[in-house]
Amino acid sequence: MKIKFQYTYILYLILFFACNKSTQTTNSPDPGITNTTYNALFIPPVITGTTFNLTLDKATKQFKTGAPTATYGYNGNSFWGPTLVMNQGDNVKINVTNNLTDATTVHWHGFHIPAVMDGGPHQIIDAGGKWSPNFVIKNNAGTYWYHPHLHLKTYEQLAKGAGGLIIIKDPVESALALPRTYGTDDIPLVLSSRRFNGDNSISINGAYGDYLLSNGVMNAQVTLPKQYVRFRILNAEIERGYDLGMSDNRSFYIIANDGGLLNAPVSVKRVKMMPGERIEIMVNLGDDAMGSSIDLKAYNSGQAFGFPGGEPATMGDFGSLLNNKDFTVLHINVGAATASPITSLPAKLANQVYWTNADVTNSRTINITGGQGGSAFTFDNNTYGFTAINQTVALNAIEKWTIVNNNIFGHSFHVHDVQFKIVARSSGVVGPHESGWKDTVYVPYGETVTVIAKFDDFADPTNPYMYHCHFSNHEDGGMMGQFLVK
């Protein structure tokens, strides 16, 4: 959203530093949670094959007592959509039907496909219309997603529930002893939060929700087997970041980033995820007692300035009941092991070879700008233009993009078409947890991040790809640019 007044931000700065002086920890009841009853985690249904039919419709969902909430869902779901499972190398066709009274688009986030199939702001599906892209799956096994990308409507359509996961499979991943029984030991987990208006409708103002939704469910719980369990986690937020960890502070293992498997698992106790990012993690429940429970939590209190959702306010444009708090994202009950459990972690996962500075054939810099004195955030002082071409990349170029954020807040930078390698952060740390292929990267306040990608396969002299902040409110506000590959 636009920064309405500069002094809003100054006030925020004062409050932020004042609140962070005293160390705060939040105990139960969790903020934004009105009761202690847990609800079953929704596991989105799966569609497999090479032809996928997706229909976006209006729906309703009973989130709170009182009126049902008006939502959007694909294929009859009341919020969110089915998980599409695709195989690398397949030529897939997707038939999208738009039953809304508004136009929409469907973007295949993370996919390396032709610009006209990408589902960005230009591939508009009118109200009542259909769109049938087809493309070959070139990406590695991993967790991707689809969501609307209609300029000025992305926030609203995502907030109302339009989106879904995509799982790509390939022979490298399939050969590993990893959990992959969907919904049993391979758990999709989509994190977001929403604010509700007085009539229980979903707010489409402000940056942050007051109520956490895990796969669209408040206060979610799940029973998982006493063994290694894999989570495919997507931050599907409008703007909030998550700093995830287990409630007993145990280590867990990152096995994949946005674009697929890391070369080896990386042990962590906390991991930050910004809007648009995915990770796959392994959590060992093998030593937990049956009937015990443990929580996956967001440790969002006391974050550095510029962390989205670290603001101290509980209401207003930059406030929410979940801000600057630690809160549970999933209550896990430990149940019986399955018949053939995964009981160890593979030492090696993949053999990815990444781009380095020596490979680079062209470099460019993108500055994060705007956000001052009531203006929207922008790149290089240009607000998004539907017909503007902001960058032109030569086919097969290996490009180094340096994203400079000398601005006033953190952002989540996303590029279409490619998966990139993060080669430098001005803070000095590119964590091993972000050492895999990425399509979305956190650019904290005051930091410069450098990434390298190859722009191969798909040239098009007229149809652009997007790069943008994945905070939907910033994106709708014009923090988006277009590039041609030709």
Q: Kindly write out the interface string for residues 235-274 of this chain, putting x where it contacts ligand C2O by CB under 6 A and - elsewhere.
A: ----------------------------------------
* Alpha-carbon distance values, 201 to 156, 205, 239 (Å): 12, 12, 19
The residues, any chain, with a CB within 8 Å of residue 11's CB and separated by 6 or more, are none
Decide: is 414 part of the binding site for ligand C2O (CB under 6 A).
yes
Among 141, 466, 479, 484, binds ligand C2O (CB under 6 A): 466
Q: How far is the CB of 477 from ligand C2O (least distance, A)?
A: 14
Q: How far is the CB of 474 from Cu ion (least distance, A)?
A: 3
By CB under 6 A, which span of 244-252, 285-293, 360-368, 463-471 interacts with ligand C2O? 463-471
Q: Of ligand C2O, Cu ion, none, which one sits near residue 471, judging by CB under 5 to 8 A according to partner kind?
A: Cu ion
Q: How many CB atoms lie within 10 A of CB 68?
A: 14
Decide: is 433 part of the binding site for ligand C2O (CB under 6 A).
no
Q: Of Cu ion, ligand C2O, none, which one sits near residue 400, judging by CB under 5 to 8 A according to partner kind?
A: none
Q: How many CB atoms lie within 10 A of CB 48?
A: 12
Among 107, 153, 160, 169, binds ligand C2O (CB under 6 A): 107
The residues, any chain, with a CB within 8 Å of residue 75's CB and separated by 6 or more, are 45, 47, 53, 54, 55, 81, 82
Q: Which of the residues 168 through 187 are near ligand C2O (CB under 6 A)? A: none
Three-class secondary structure of residue 177 per DSSP = coil
**In Å, how far from its chain's centre is CA 86?**
19
Q: Of Cu ion, ligand C2O, none, which one sits near residue 474, judging by CB under 5 to 8 A according to partner kind?
A: Cu ion
By CB under 6 A, which span of 420-428, 441-449, 451-459, 464-472 interacts with ligand C2O? 464-472
CB closer to ligand C2O out of 237 and 243? 237
Q: Which of the residues 67 through 126 are near Cu ion (CB under 5 A)? A: 109
Among 92, 191, 469, 484, binds Cu ion (CB under 5 A): 469
Q: How far apart are CA 276 and CA 145, in angstroms?
A: 9
Q: Kindly write out the interface string for residues 191-230 of this chain, putting x where it contacts ligand C2O by CB under 6 A and - elsewhere.
A: ----------------------------------------
Q: How far is the CB of 382 from Cu ion (least distance, A)?
A: 15
Q: Which residues of 270-292 are buried (b: 16+ CB within 10 A; e: fewer)?
A: ebbbbbbbbbbbbbbbbebeeee
Q: Which of the residues 54 through 73 are near ligand C2O (CB under 6 A)? A: none
Residue with tokens 């290089």: 380
CB closer to ligand C2O out of 164 and 319? 164
Q: How far apart are CA 150 and CA 181, in angstroms?
A: 34
Count the residues of the shown chain that bind ligand C2O, applying the rule CB under 6 A.
Answer: 10
In the 3-class helix/strand/coil scheme, how is 156-182 assigned residue by residue?
Answer: HHHHCCCCEEEEEECHHHHCCCCCCCE
Tokens of 415: 């590029």
Q: How far is the CB of 2 from ligand C2O (least distance, A)?
A: 20
CB closer to ligand C2O out of 63 and 111? 111
Instruction: Fill in the DSSP letter of residue 481.
Output: E
CB closer to Cu ion out of 265 and 477? 477
Q: How far apart are CA 252 and CA 129, in angstroms?
A: 45
Among 109, 232, 421, 438, binds ligand C2O (CB under 6 A): 109
Q: How far apart are CA 270 and CA 422, in angstroms?
A: 19
Q: How far is the CB of 338 from Cu ion (least distance, A)?
A: 35
Backbone angles phi, psi at 475, to 5 degrees: -60, -50
Among 61, 112, 122, 149, binds ligand C2O (CB under 6 A): 149
Q: How far apart are CA 157 and CA 152, in angstroms?
A: 10
Q: Which of the residues 387 through 426 are near Cu ion (CB under 5 A)? A: 411, 416
Question: Quick one: 183 exposed, middle or buried, by C-beta within 10 A (0-12, 13-18, 19+)?
Answer: middle
CB closer to ligand C2O out of 151 and 195? 151
Q: Could you give the angle at the alpha carbon of 471 between the alpha carbons of 303 and 4, nearest 5°? A: 85
Q: How far is the CB of 409 from Cu ion (least distance, A)?
A: 7
Instruction: Fill in the DSSP letter of residue 227.
Output: S
Decide: is 474 part of the binding site for Cu ion (CB under 5 A).
yes
Q: Of Cu ion, ligand C2O, none, which one sits near residue 468, judging by CB under 5 to 8 A according to partner kind?
A: ligand C2O
Largest CA distance in the chain: 61
Tokens of 466: 């997007």
Q: How far is the CB of 277 from ligand C2O (least distance, A)?
A: 10
CB closer to ligand C2O out of 164 and 370? 164
Q: Are 377 and 368 in contact (CB under 8 A)?
A: yes
Q: Are 108 and 142 in contact (CB under 8 A)?
A: no
Decide: is 153 part of the binding site for ligand C2O (CB under 6 A).
no
Q: Kindly write out the interface string for residues 267-286 of this chain, putting x where it contacts ligand C2O by CB under 6 A and - elsewhere.
A: ---------x----------
The residues, any chain, with a CB within 8 Å of residue 315's CB and separated by 6 or more, are none
Among 112, 151, 331, 416, binds ligand C2O (CB under 6 A): 416
Tokens of 485: 């590959």
Q: Rg (Cα) of the chain, in Å, rounded?
A: 21
Binding site residues, ligand C2O, CB under 6 A: 107, 109, 147, 149, 276, 414, 416, 466, 468, 470
Residue ranges that bind Cu ion, judged by CB under 5 A: 109, 411, 416, 469, 471, 474
